[in-house]
Amino acid sequence: MTRRWKLASALLLAALTAGAQTAPQNGKPQVTREPFGKTAGGEAVDLYRLANGRGMEAAIITYGGVLVSLTAPDRNGKFADIVLGCPDVACYEKQTAHFGGLVGRYANRIGGAKFALNGKEYLLPKNNGPNTLHGGPKSFDAHMWTAKPRQDASGAAVDLTMVSPDGEEGFPGKLTVKVTYTLTPANELRMDYTATTDRDTVVNLTNHAYFNLAGQGAGSILDHEVAIYADQFTPTDSTQIPTGQLRSVAGTPFDFRQLTRIGARIDQNDEQLKTGAGYDHNWVVRKGQQPLVKAAEAYEPKSGRVLEVRTTEPGVQFYTGNFLDGTIRGKAGVAYARRSGFCLETQHYPDSPNHPSFPSTTLKPGAEYRTTTVYAFSAR
């Protein structure tokens, strides 16, 4: 990266991180495009800044479809960037935490790095012990995406598209993907995912944002309170692959049916917590009458910020940043320590292709993969 690109990226991140309080509040959604440096291969990366006219802003880059920053107001109307992330493209290319990225072709883990479809076994790269994580070493958040901005009554939006060729990371079928980020006037970040294929394949997409509602870089998330509206979770084996069982959360550290402090039970002597070094599990979202179901909620007591998660997906992976270790220096030079961010990743269950009893992730030619997740923000 040239000195000029580095300076531009640094100035842009400084504006995203420190300038949130002066965001325009003119009532009109706006989309702007800015340079965000270049990849190691020389590809120019653009940043699209979505503003909803009420002070909220979301910034997305064309490398990895990454959500670089997201501002939200506290109970006093003060805005802060609440997602962890990197200061430049080089950091995003190097890190493996998947900060804010669009991950696929299969989000989460596939056991033994293989699955069978139509009687044929497909071998995948092992990048998480014996398993495949987030689709392999070149997850979709390591791809360049094509962007098309738009703004209308629904809000400020950017459509991102990419094509994953047949056989990439071992998965069958040419997969054409579109993800739309929309920042609405109601202080919601909406993500609409669609995909089509020319051969039978499996697909499971999500966004891997790490949240800290006190502000990115504000320290531990253990005092946040979280509710997950699920009566069951999918316990895992020693390599974090589901056993196939749906286990009741009742009487376990996994009972978040009411707002509960994240740190209240995270270090209990529980085999499942030991396996994930904390929470890193899939919860079975309760089915509702409407397609969009309220799956989870998070609350940060000092700021009063509230995150509500609504989704059409059957599961949500709650991850408490257990494997962050301070080696990644993020925005404003902050070293992201263990449990300094949490994820609520809406998706199908891990390893579904190897568990016929789980909701299917198979996509066939002529059909369309379609899911929606909304992150809604407020304060109290």
* 345 among known catalytic residues: yes
Q: Which helix (H) or strand (E) holds 310?
A: strand 305-311
Question: What is the rounded distance in angstroms from the CA atom of residue 306 to the CA atom of residue 75?
Answer: 10
Question: Quick one: tokens of 275?
Answer: 């396996």
Q: Which of 258, 239, 261 is nearest to 250 (CA)?
A: 258
159 φψ region: left (φ > 0), alpha (ψ -120 to 50), beta (else): beta
Catalytic status, residue 208:
yes
* Cβ-defined contacts of 174-181 (< 8 Å, 24+): 174/198, 174/199, 175/105, 175/201, 175/203, 175/363, 177/104, 177/140, 177/205, 179/65, 179/102, 179/145, 179/205, 181/50, 181/58, 181/60, 181/67, 181/157
321 touches 341 (CB < 8 A): yes
Tokens 């920053």 locate to 69
> Catalytic residue among 168, 169, 313, 345, which?
345
Of 190, 105, 131, nearest to 156 by C-alpha is: 190
**H/E stretch holding 196:** strand 188-197
> Residue 336 is encoded by which pair of tokens?
């992201």
Residue 341 CA to residue 356 CA, distance in Å, equals 33
DSSP 110-162: EGGGEEEETTEEEE----BTTBEETTSSS-GGGSB-EEEEEEETTEEEEEEEE
* Pairwise CA distance, residues 99 & 102, whole Å: 9
How many angstroms from the chain centroid is the CA of residue 224?
18
Q: What share of the chain is helix, strand, coil (3-state, %, to 5)?
A: 15, 40, 45
Q: Which of 143, 208, 281, 355 is catalytic?
A: 208
The candidate with the shortest Cα–Cα distance to 295, out of 346, 348, 251, is 346
Active site residues: 208, 345
